[in-house]
Amino acid sequence: AQSVTQPDIHITVSEGASLELRCNYSYGATPYLFWYVQSPGQGLQLLLKYFSGDTLVQGIKGFEAEFKRSQSSFNLRKPSVHWSDAAEYFCAVGALGTDKLIFGTGTRLQVFP
């Protein structure tokens, strides 16, 4: 069965530090992968998506993610975190044969000044 795992429930970083949020997927074909961000009390906003081609994907707000087929991973990175990046981050994979998305359980990012 298709699934998405975000192994880190909660991550704390200092402002200005680099960030990597992990995402692993289980999928039987070339996956369609997404990262969303949810600020407190808000809906989800798309950060970036991967369908094919270049495995390093650039997104909004200075985020990037790298698709690694051999590791079934799609980790999200940012070189220097800002206090406004504090939010919950969700990784998702497009379910095979449907328009649905399968979401991970999310990683809550806390940023200290």
Task: Enumerate binding residues for other proteins (CB under 8 A).
Answer: 9, 32, 34, 36, 41-46, 49, 51-52, 90, 94, 98-101, 103-106
- Token pair belonging to 109: 């990012």
Q: Work out how close the CB of 16 gets to other proteins at its nearest, in angstroms, rounded to a whole number.
A: 28
- Joined together, the tokens standing for residue 12 give 């704390």
- What minimum distance in Å lies between the beta carbon of 76 and other proteins? 15
Is-contact 57 50, C-beta < 8 A? Answer: yes
Nearer to other proteins, 69 or 100 (CB): 100
User: Shortest Cβ distance from residue 36 to other proteins (Å)?
Assistant: 8
- How far from 25 is each of 3, 13, 60, 92, 93, CA to CA, in Å? 6, 25, 22, 8, 7
